[in-house]
Amino acid sequence: MGAHAAVGAQPADGATAVEQPQTQREVHTPVVIDTNVVLDLLVFSDPNSAELHAALEAGHLQWLATAAMREELLRVLDYPQLQPRLAFYRLTPTQVMATFDARATLCPTAPKATCTCKDADDQKFIDLAVAHQAVLLSKDKAVLAMRKRLERLGVALNPGADKKALGTGFAGR
């Protein structure tokens, strides 16, 4: 279960990103993605996730996750009601998890944020987003109700959600 960063490529001259001057390094916006949005992205190929997918592929976003988020996705992928959908898209939980592992950067569990979500299962996403001042992508009603509190803590919740794609606005970052 090692962490894999799916951002940026090695410079042609063999230098590492650390050795490059600050002005030449690409800035990657950190993003925390809740499980329902991950399913849209990795299983359902939801057209509303197309820009998010493109931004992740291009390395404009750095997807942050924790072991608990990974475990939740693995558990959800085993739900009986999801099996017909996985079969329809010709995916297995192993394939979905391999994509998750290739794209997400695993981080240590974040400390508890100063705001608390009514849905305890979503707290881990909030904590990580606050700790890293990351964009948070979620469709959960309890999280959406926290928009103003999260903004005060430096977390952008679903930027561009007024447009069709949750990922709108990321492609140029």
Read off the pLDDT of residues 45-56 as tens digits, 9 standing for 90 and up: 899 999 999 999
**Nearby residues of 102 by Cβ (< 8 Å), 6 or more positions away:** 4, 6
Q: What is the mean pLDDT of residues 118-144?
A: 96
The Cα–Cα gap between 101 and 125 comes to: 17
The two beta strands, 61-65 and 29-33, are parallel
The full 3-state SS of 42-105, as one line of letters, equals: HCCCCHHHHHHHHHHHHCCEEEEECHHHHHHHHHHHCCHHHHHHHHHCCCCHHHHHHHHHHHEE
Distance spanning both ends of the chain, measured CA to CA: 29
Read off the pLDDT of residues 55-105 as tens digits, 9 standing for 90 and up: 999 999 999 999 999 999 999 999 999 999 999 999 999 999 999 999 999
Give the pLDDT band of residue 5 (cuts 50, 70, 90). Answer: very low
Say if residue 24's pLDDT is above 50: no
Give the pLDDT band of residue 26 (cuts 50, 70, 90). Answer: low
Q: Provide the whole-model pTM.
A: 0.79
Say if residue 9's pLDDT is above 50: no
pLDDT score of 161: 64
CB atoms within 10 A of CB 9: 8
Most confident segment among 13-17, 124-128, 159-163? 124-128
The full set of domains in the chain, from first to last, is 27-152 (3.40.50.1010)
Give the pLDDT band of residue 15 (cuts 50, 70, 90). Answer: very low
